[in-house]
Amino acid sequence: MFSVDIFSCYAVAGVGSLVGLGLISLIQTEQPRVSYALFLYRCAFICLAALGGVIFAPLDLIPWVTKAAIGFAGMGVTLLGWAFRQLNGRRTPPWLGTLITVTVGAGLWGFAFGSDEVYERALGIGFTLVSLGMAIDQGWLILRSARVNGSELTLLVVAGGFALHWVFFLANVLTVPGPYPPHWLHSPAWLLPISGIGFALLPLAVASVVFAIINDRLNQQLRARALSDELTGALSRRGLRELGERMLAMQEHQPSLVAVLMLDVDYFKAVNDRYGHLIGDDVLKHITHVVRERLREDALLARYGGEEFTILLPVHTIQEAHGVAERLRHAIESTPCETRVGPIRVTISIGVSFHCPNSSLEEDLSRADVRLYEAKQNGRNRVVFGDNDC
């Protein structure tokens, strides 16, 4: 069994975090959701960079400096999990994300003043809970997506391996008494080299994978922009046909479904008549923004015509599509459009169909349009599904 110097691994992790910070800072985007995720990633790497300071600590202060750096590392890992949720459209309220992050750091620092045994248990429990929570959350978000790319799977493997490491660490802390090493990684002998190397490579590995994921998504959006509606930025009708047919062809080889949602703004003509077409345009852009912020990256959003929008959404179950449609309806209803004449509340009606193996995109859209008509006839501001499309 080869040995590694854990403090050197901490130093490498700190340097890797700074490199990761620079790598993430290279990404430029105008999308608020992605920009916020990038901000969280930058905060995470700044916290993880504190590990590099351990190598410069005086010998008599190394245990305490290491404890301080580990507290920052706990906050950094928590921020990584928060950033990943944000990147994939799962909103964590800022107050909650901040509270969890600060609690993890404060907890690790607070227990640092107890006995070595108490601190090691707090370290094991804290990192195990954070890493397991992150791995389960990422797994749920990634594996339930109808289309998963290699970078996302790599990120999931990294998160899973990190969580498994801390499970073994905690088991060792609970069953094997001290003495405890000054670097505080009280791991089994066979796990210690893996622990050190894992700490050293984690920041740069995460930064590289996240960089690849975001760049891939931004490149897809740049390709789609050529097929976009000029006013809203959603796909045009031509873009929907081109990319939609491609999605349906790819989906034939997947075990998932494609839900087709037709959305229409209720009483949109009244908005135009009362406030003018410029305000009406603001409402359409507002709806596009609210809907896009709540869709996964594998969904297609298009302006089908006038105040009507279409979404093609890969899903695993009919119930998942129903949940997405209801969340979109509620989001529009509860989020007023801020305009130069004040906030304007609007609602939408939604009709939903599902792609069948032997049907065309036009047939899928036609069925969704029939259900949209039913939703508007039955009072608007509702979602209508069919019994069975295939």
Active-site residues, by number, are 307
Look at residue 199 and give its three-state secondary structure. helix
What strands, in cross-sheet order, belong to the sheet with 257-265? 300-305, 308-315, 257-265, 348-354, 383-385
Look at residue 234 and give its three-state secondary structure. coil
Burial 64-99 (b: 16+ CB within 10 A, else e): ebbbbbbbbbbbbbbbbbbbbbbbbbeebeeeebee
- In angstroms and rounded to an integer, the radius of gyration of the C-alpha atoms of the chain is 25
> Measuring CA to CA, which residue among 52, 54, 42 is closest to residue 79?
42
DSSP state of 228: B
Six-digit token pair at 64?
């305490």
Largest CA distance in the chain: 78
DSSP state of 336: P
Quick check: 188 and 72 in contact, CB under 8 A?
Answer: no
Q: Is 184 left (phi over 0), alpha (psi -120 to 50) or beta?
A: left
CA pair distance 220, 38, nearest whole angstrom: 18
Name every residue whose Cβ is closer than 8 Å to that of residue 207 and which is 6 or more positions away in sequence: 16, 19, 20, 21, 23, 24, 41, 45
Residue with tokens 């405890």: 180
